[in-house]
Amino acid sequence: MWLESTPGEGSTFGFSIPGLVDRADEVASPSSGELPVVVLVDDDRASLDLLSAYLGSSARVVRARDGVEGLEVIRRVHPAAVVLDIRLPRLDGGQVLAELKGDPATAAIPVVIASVVDDRPRGLALGADAYLLKPVRREDLVETLRQVGVV
């Protein structure tokens, strides 16, 4: 369990569920018959936990908490898809998306933006395959990943 608090803005309380994959080192690329790997890049622990729970039975989840870590993880595990927040520390989601789509090794990986930032035209112009506004419902996330051929 944990607490993240910002004076004047509010607090976030959260918990983690044992068994959810939280580090890229623990995930191998899927072979046939295994669940697809989805990388979640979000600095909000509660969002990571919620999205991980949504995908728990549909995908193997790898989590990153900022843009730099997200790029490193994505390049290391080469996932079936990425779910990307826009407001990230160190390197924002738009920059991460531009890097992914500009690199031939990662350009074909589907990217779904899940953010409170309502800038769908910019996200799609940068190469996102889909754009979801938070709060994201489980059905919307799973259906979007299904549409991009992941789950």
Per-residue model confidence as pLDDT tens digits over 35-64? 999 999 999 999 999 999 999 888 999 999
Whether the CB-CB separation of 36 and 61 falls below 8 Å is answered with no
H or E segment to which residue 138 belongs: helix 138-147
Please state the domain count of the chain: 1
Asked whether residue 13 is domain-assigned, the answer is: no
Asked whether residue 85 is domain-assigned, the answer is: yes
More reliable by pLDDT, 137 or 25: 137
Per-residue model confidence as pLDDT tens digits over 66-76? 999 999 999 99
How far, in Å, CA of 41 to CA of 63, rounded?
Answer: 6
Say yes or no to pLDDT of 3 above 80.
Answer: no
Asked whether residue 50 is domain-assigned, the answer is: yes
Asked whether residue 68 is domain-assigned, the answer is: yes
Asked whether residue 26 is domain-assigned, the answer is: yes
Q: Which domain holds residue 99?
A: 21-147
Beta bridge partners of 3: 13
Per-residue model confidence as pLDDT tens digits over 17-33? 544 444 433 333 444 45
Say yes or no to pLDDT of 9 above 80.
Answer: no
Share of the chain above pLDDT 70, in %: 79
Asked whether residue 63 is domain-assigned, the answer is: yes
The structure tokens listed for 89 are 């520390």
Asked whether residue 11 is domain-assigned, the answer is: no
- Domain at 136, CATH number: 3.40.50.2300
Confidence of residue 119 (pLDDT cuts 50, 70, 90): very high
Beta bridge partners of 13: 3
Asked whether residue 76 is domain-assigned, the answer is: yes
Give the pLDDT of residue 103: 96
User: Which residue is listed with tokens 């079936």?
Assistant: 80
